[in-house]
Structure 1
């Protein structure tokens, strides 16, 4: 229907019909008191898992997110005018395409030679001209539509409260108007693949409104008494034609009242209750197949939902969500600050004492991952599954030189391994498209992906060589699948992912180059992600991160060979090649070098947001305080030189790094930076700025690392506990070798830990200077405590 954007802008201005005031909020009719009555009560203990506010959202980053992996909704909580933003995770611009440059393979030898000759700027210019994808942009993720609800009566408002309950994944808006108590609930059901909106009041006949669909997408709305059908075709971008068809259905269920059609709107008058069931789909089937039937898919999902009354829809949704969410609980203590609305808590966190907000933020990251990445969906992109812009920042796709990886950092330790399935599925796709990229750009076997990909699984370098000429994206993504194996120890899973690891290694066996200056085997061309060195370019040979990633990849392939009894000769070849990778080096400032050469102190951006050369400290553990203390000290010096201030995700990475260094006090200071108004929006979305969801996941992972770490064959209990969290407990966290851990501490001292083993094994637990080895049968458990300062079995 090619809706005018001015209409969307007008609705944004009028959507809440409210302006904030010092005491609460006021309507266009004049000031009203702050929330009172049943919603005035401050957050009670039962509200510890709620985000809540005393005013509707006035901008998108104040709205509350719900999702089921595939579908997303953003609820503004307006009174007279409600807006619910809708997303479907395959609605990207464009269609299947191959952007490989036909000139890349011919130009590659000259680019390599220029880099080895130290003519970096020339190499980068040639790479920009010949190696970049065509087009040099990938396709953006896009919004589907807004559901608009315009209510006939909204006067004499009091008791307003909107909230998001992480435990139920239900967003609720409540208020009193005209003597009736109104309640509006929204959730996104995974089992029934629909968005459910319920409007109710405690007096009969009080639900009257007009509802419709607004969208920046090109399409048409058809209306009948059965509901709304919005259908159309996606947009093209950067010369790639739009090939997707999409459909959105809105089906009303009334109790009492009447329903009539007026143009492209439905009018409900005098209902006691209204339930709306929304289903959405596109024609996407696979990165190379857009032959799906979105009308049939949405109709099938509507029919499935029709089989269940609202209580059953809610119960099915709760069962599916809580089966994941309730695996982990965390309590870091509580203070009176926990009684404040969430936006006020964010404002005060850095200067106050609100450990419960840190616990809420931890669980919010788990909630967001559940809502944006479920089996059968796409992986969580730069914004999870939520987006309101046709041209979002960085196309809201997959940046795989840190951001997508960080999205999944919390998954294994926080008992959400199912949420990794979409990433695994994407890697199998990328192994196919990346094989084409490997052959056509590098004349190599195996597969390779650079720094970005999109729905269409493009694998080549984009934007500019200084950002994208980095062949390690697939290797880093594979580390999440290794964690899935290491935390679960399912041999069938290892057999399934084995070809991905072997194919990635085969590419580097064929493409690593002998550095004429150092004799090491190095990547060329490459970059240390997005950071320029002192010679007017970013392209280089063998940056530290590449060698660190390849050490992990080759070691993992060797372990797979031993575990499965396969690829013996290839494993021996990798062992020899691994020994020829450049070592980590300590530079003249005592820092861990980012490049083979000691360039760090002359780099133009001393406080760069990326800390790529510290991958070996976290998320890897090649560098650690126990086994490599000199390199760990150098990594710490690099962190100090880089500084704490960064983008939201950059701060999230620093949080994890300081936790790995065992410095709980510094880690807490980093968390306070992350949970400040400069880096956290009122709805707790991470602010890059603008919004990027990776910082949320980095924050959740970092808080976990402060409490429990699992690397190097050991389990570290309370390794970076800050003094501000003297009492607490966490239950349900996971560790490597298929085990779970519960922790309880008081006065800053471990009181007990419970270790549970799923498959049986031997576990080494570490707390302070004490180490304890525990052997368990499959299904066995052991409680551990302290005697003096020594770990003992209880």
Structure 2
């Protein structure tokens, strides 16, 4: 009885607290780095708000500012090599197949023609500078070494070229006459290393660990000078250390333990020799930052009562603090209706708002200029490409004085000030760049300037809240609820902080609304936000899971409207992909490999061992069918059906019969980023089977293409089936060659479980084999990999295992080690690492899968409820296939009630545990059931 009473009391307390709980990320100090800052976005214009007191920084992006240009991506005539590549793979000659494909089958690179002579001439010029000449140069500056993510993080953002570094070490007297080893770890990309003016080594490649022999004759007693010329052609550069336990940046006797070595002096310096190498050939473009809005304030005492926050209910950032008894408040939001960022500064005393506002940008080609008495402009041009942008900043002040020059806007003694920021580029679409960014930015500014902050905020909320408020979740409360968000992350335990996962899921929904709206581009690898000219993986659209994962939560969490930019990309990629299908495979339809960009490149990129993967287009038809399944929007399906049909047509032409088994297989391809170029990876066949099934189903809904439906059904039966291997695992490849000790981050062969439906509990042997495979891969992983595993364990019905993965997703990324560990940064951004937004979206979707599943043709309620969520829970607004909206409550681990609204009037089968009920629903009607699935 006592335990029951305590449970009831805890439930009452939890319900009372839940009614008051704000959906807010908050912190007790300003952001120290980018992944501490808080994101705002309207699907086109995004900003990271740092909340500084002496200086505020808003780093901003516009979704169409990329490198590159409209150009051909497919390699003409590549298809003539397809039979040879297939034959080599059939003969087991993987290395030969990869070499042939690398030479003749990869897509075209920008700047490919004529690059080598330009590179040779540039290298000759920069290598003509000797070590003594470099030492004598002016302009040496201090720098911290190593720079793990390249010298860009040390203030050299966007630098490609030649940079010299210098340090020193003291030679112990006992080492006189001995040869030493100098350990420098990894270097991006090429180095020429000198000691006391003598060249002692040179190498190239990020994967090579630099350990150079120092002959005794090159050394001297006391101080020895180390000088390194680093040559970097593209992307990041610098001395980046090494991922191993052995010390780096040390000198030690040849053959001795490196731990006994002497460290190089920490007082490193650098000198930029040349920052204009010829533009490096690149397969695809990179998403770019636009600039920074900086607000400089006069130095004053340290603030008191500091708080910065992001209110998810209002999509509003606030910063509050006190100085000298004056309370200051700043608030900002990104307006979708006005295409602008709006930022207000207030104080509780008149005349206390004074600051200087200015632009900065990492682009070398940039300038600022005065537009009028209240407006400053920033113009930028990307170094590698045709795109340029213009941003307008306007300040309206109550009282006080506003002064505008070509460099800044100064506000003195105002009662209040409101800033309006707009930005635009010359991008029109993936084939045209003739727009006028100045006119666009000015037009956006005319729309927003003169409008009060309060009026614009009300308009913003009328736009935003109907999207965000379609869903709510309450998992109860805990003792950590009142902590700042960064402290909650560090201390996270599901028992002590049940509401942090709920906040995390709602944050995922917020990020999708902020980064994907009608009229904009889809969410990329970093959503909408990026501060680097050389973002990891170009911050592109990676289509072998990452882009698709970005949209996993859209339908189930009530954000169907946010999928419009994705469908825009799919349609444009389908047009471009027809050319690639013809040139590379002599096939009809369309194909997309593992990446695309703003210019909709669809050809294979990077390297043949992972870049030749043919099912990107097929996977991207899945969200088309899912959108129809959730919305029952027949006109949408009619409009998008050709995309599905053409993706199917490609595989009707592409698939060939395997001589050994007689099955139809996909070749050449790969199991994404794992195992190299192969014939017949399991994932391909799962995706193609699903494509054929859903295309046939769509044709049936629309009453078209009866002959095609039969053809797809016949071909699907001939595809290589899922197979169980020698360890009881689901095979990743056609051959039984899985390694049970393999913990690779991709679990591609489990696609048929999630997000696909190829494997389900109607095939229990395959489900058990899939469970065995996932078990063997382990529970660690990068951020997006953890998110995929979370969804898989939910599909398997293992709520406690899923919650364990969610806990890892919510672990602090800053304390992690190694490249294969995910987690979150202080602002709850997902860590690949570094930041990738797909883990946020995949994690949000995974929590939904734990509470409701509808992929098997019925509504499965609470299929993977973990024990620590069992005390109390309520979710409202979950969406299910068939056009249903589901509200649920549970207590003590048991369902207590459910409401199901039918939007399409379709039959609805409901299951909970061993209970089943079928409802013949009517459009618009809500059906209420108790925990036994009995109608109320």
Asked whether 1:161 is paired with 2:307, we answer: yes
2:530 to 368, 387, 405: 387
Q: Return structure 1 stretches of 4+ with deviation > 3 angstroms.
A: 43-47
Structure 1 stretch 348-357 or stretch 209-218: which is displaced more? 348-357
* Paired residue secondary structure (1:692): coil
Asked whether 1:716 is paired with 2:860, we answer: yes
* Paired residue secondary structure (1:200): strand
| Distance in structure 1 (CA, Å) of the matches to 2:74 and 2:515 | 30
**Mapping 1:180-199, distance limit 5 Å:** 180-199=326-345
Partner of 1:615: 751
| Distance in structure 1 (CA, Å) of the matches to 2:880 and 2:22 | 26
| Alpha-carbon shift at residue 563 of structure 1 (Å) | 1.2
| Alpha-carbon shift at residue 103 of structure 1 (Å) | 4.8
Asked whether 1:557 is paired with 2:531, we answer: no
Asked whether 1:104 is paired with 2:239, we answer: no
| Alpha-carbon shift at residue 133 of structure 1 (Å) | 1.6
| Distance in structure 2 (CA, Å) of the matches to 1:50 and 1:256 | 33
| Alpha-carbon shift at residue 102 of structure 1 (Å) | 3.2
Asked whether 1:203 is paired with 2:352, we answer: no
Instruction: Please say if residues 182 and 199 of structure 1, whose CA atoms lie closer than 8 Å, have aligned partners that are also in contact.
Output: yes
| Distance in structure 2 (CA, Å) of the matches to 1:190 and 1:159 | 32
Partner of 2:368: 221
Partner of 1:50: 24
RMSD of the alignment, in Å? 1.3
| Distance in structure 2 (CA, Å) of the matches to 1:222 and 1:131 | 47
2:771 to 627, 633, 636: 636
**Mapping 1:279-678, distance limit 5 Å:** 279-306=422-449, 308-350=451-493, 353-532=496-675, 538-601=676-739, 606-625=742-761, 627-678=762-813
Structure 1 stretch 569-578 or stretch 328-337: which is displaced more? 569-578
* Paired residue secondary structure (2:854): strand
Structure 1 stretch 346-355 or stretch 778-787: which is displaced more? 346-355
Instruction: Please say if residues 759 and 779 of structure 1, whose CA atoms lie closer than 8 Å, have aligned partners that are also in contact.
Output: yes
1:258 to 393, 401, 404: 401
| Distance in structure 1 (CA, Å) of the matches to 2:544 and 2:96 | 24
Q: Cα deviations across residues 609-632 of structure 1 (Å, max 9, x unaligned)?
A: 00011011111122123x111111
Instruction: Please say if residues 860 and 910 of structure 2, whose CA atoms lie closer than 8 Å, have aligned partners that are also in contact.
Output: yes
Partner of 2:266: none
| Alpha-carbon shift at residue 116 of structure 1 (Å) | 1.2
| Alpha-carbon shift at residue 137 of structure 1 (Å) | 2.7
Instruction: Please say if residues 879 and 885 of structure 2, whose CA atoms lie closer than 8 Å, have aligned partners that are also in contact.
Output: yes
| Distance in structure 1 (CA, Å) of the matches to 2:283 and 2:304 | 49
Q: Cα deviations across residues 48-76 of structure 1 (Å, max 9, x unaligned)?
A: 30000000000100000010111100000
* Paired residue secondary structure (1:570): helix
| Distance in structure 1 (CA, Å) of the matches to 2:696 and 2:507 | 37
**Structure 1 residues not aligned, in runs of 5+:** 1-42, 237-241, 533-537
* Paired residue secondary structure (1:276): strand
Partner of 1:683: 827
Q: Cα deviations across residues 295-337 of structure 1 (Å, max 9, x unaligned)?
A: 1111111111135322111111111111100000000000121
| Alpha-carbon shift at residue 100 of structure 1 (Å) | 2.0
| Distance in structure 1 (CA, Å) of the matches to 2:105 and 2:81 | 7
Instruction: Please say if residues 790 and 843 of structure 2, whose CA atoms lie closer than 8 Å, have aligned partners that are also in contact.
Output: yes
Instruction: Please say if residues 858 and 908 of structure 2, whose CA atoms lie closer than 8 Å, have aligned partners that are also in contact.
Output: yes
Structure 1 stretch 593-602 or stretch 250-259: which is displaced more? 593-602
Asked whether 1:149 is paired with 2:295, we answer: yes
| Distance in structure 1 (CA, Å) of the matches to 2:731 and 2:341 | 50
Partner of 2:411: 268
After TM superposition, the score normalised by the length of structure 1 is 0.91
| Distance in structure 2 (CA, Å) of the matches to 1:572 and 1:352 | 53
* Paired residue secondary structure (2:317): strand
**Mapping 1:168-179, distance limit 5 Å:** 168-179=314-325
| Distance in structure 2 (CA, Å) of the matches to 1:459 and 1:364 | 32
Asked whether 1:765 is paired with 2:905, we answer: no
Q: Cα deviations across residues 653-679 of structure 1 (Å, max 9, x unaligned)?
A: 000000111111111111101100031
Partner of 1:73: 47
| Alpha-carbon shift at residue 263 of structure 1 (Å) | 4.7
Partner of 1:793: 935
| Alpha-carbon shift at residue 786 of structure 1 (Å) | 2.5
* Paired residue secondary structure (1:539): strand
Instruction: Please say if residues 525 and 547 of structure 2, whose CA atoms lie closer than 8 Å, have aligned partners that are also in contact.
Output: yes
Partner of 2:248: none
Q: In the superposition, relative to structure 1, how do residues 402 and 65 fare at CA in structure 2: closer, same or farther (>3 Å)?
A: same
| Distance in structure 1 (CA, Å) of the matches to 2:924 and 2:46 | 37
Partner of 1:738: 883
Partner of 1:116: 90
1:706 to 850, 863, 867: 850
Q: Cα deviations across residues 426-460 of structure 1 (Å, max 9, x unaligned)?
A: 01101110001011111111110000000000001
| Distance in structure 2 (CA, Å) of the matches to 1:570 and 1:261 | 66
**Mapping 1:9-20, distance limit 5 Å:** none
| Distance in structure 2 (CA, Å) of the matches to 1:210 and 1:310 | 20
| Alpha-carbon shift at residue 761 of structure 1 (Å) | 1.0
Q: Cα deviations across residues 86-126 of structure 1 (Å, max 9, x unaligned)?
A: 00001001211212223522222111111111111110111
| Distance in structure 2 (CA, Å) of the matches to 1:206 and 1:478 | 56
Q: How many residues align?
A: 736
Partner of 2:893: 748
Instruction: Please say if residues 64 and 74 of structure 1, whose CA atoms lie closer than 8 Å, have aligned partners that are also in contact.
Output: yes
| Alpha-carbon shift at residue 739 of structure 1 (Å) | 1.0
**Structure 2 residues not aligned, in runs of 5+:** 1-16, 110-281, 814-822
* Paired residue secondary structure (2:756): coil
Structure 1 stretch 555-564 or stretch 354-363: which is displaced more? 555-564
| Distance in structure 1 (CA, Å) of the matches to 2:78 and 2:866 | 51
1:693 to 837, 854, 873: 837
Q: Cα deviations across residues 347-395 of structure 1 (Å, max 9, x unaligned)?
A: 1114752110000001000000000001111000000000000000000
